[in-house]
Structure 1
Amino acid sequence: MSMKVIVDLTTCQGYACCMMEAPTVFDLDESAGKAVVIDETPAEDVRSAVEAAARTCPARAITIENG
């Protein structure tokens, strides 16, 4: 099963919790103060880290779509 990772930039507050949980998938655009997805369709072996990032996001700005 594949997944697609989406960050809602209107909701994101730039806490960077996602970056700490899944650094190969998320980064921080320091000029905008928002998270960016550097790998929108990551491999299944990082699913648990991506799910943890979504759970720990204080702004609830991360969505994982299963394809």
Structure 2
Amino acid sequence: MKITLDQDKCVASGQCVVAAADVFDQRDEDGIAVLLTAEPPADQATDTRHAASVCPALAIHIQE
């Protein structure tokens, strides 16, 4: 699994961080999401998929 995050689309809702805190974080200055790991381990796959599904801006893309 490879993750990409389009920060230009991000609306800083924080849903990705709530869903997968080991994979995503937010910048302090504006709340825009930051990808912590582009290739999360298998045990984080479910949470990462959930984060992508709840992103209101559809800014998270997963390549299996």
Give the TM-score normalised by structure 1. Answer: 0.89
Q: What is the root-mean-square deviation in Å for CA atoms of aligned residues?
A: 0.9
Q: 1:31 aligns with which of 12, 29, 32?
A: 29
**Identity across the alignment (%):** 34
Taking the aligned partners of 2:37 and 2:50, their CA distance within structure 1 comes to 16
CA contact (8 A) 2:14 2:31 kept: no
Give the TM-score normalised by structure 2. Answer: 0.93
Taking the aligned partners of 1:26 and 1:33, their CA distance within structure 2 comes to 11
CA contact (8 A) 2:27 2:34 kept: yes
After superposition, the C-alpha distances for 1:17-53 in whole angstroms (9 at most, x for unaligned) are 0000000000001224310000111101111100000
Instruction: Structure 1: give runs of 5+ residues left out of the alignment.
Output: none
Higher strand share: 1
Equivalences for residues 4-19 of structure 1 within 5 A = 4-19=2-17
Between the two proteins, the alignment pairs up a number of residues equal to: 64
Which runs of 4 or more aligned residues in structure 1 lie more than 3 Å from their structure 2 counterparts after TM superposition?
Answer: none
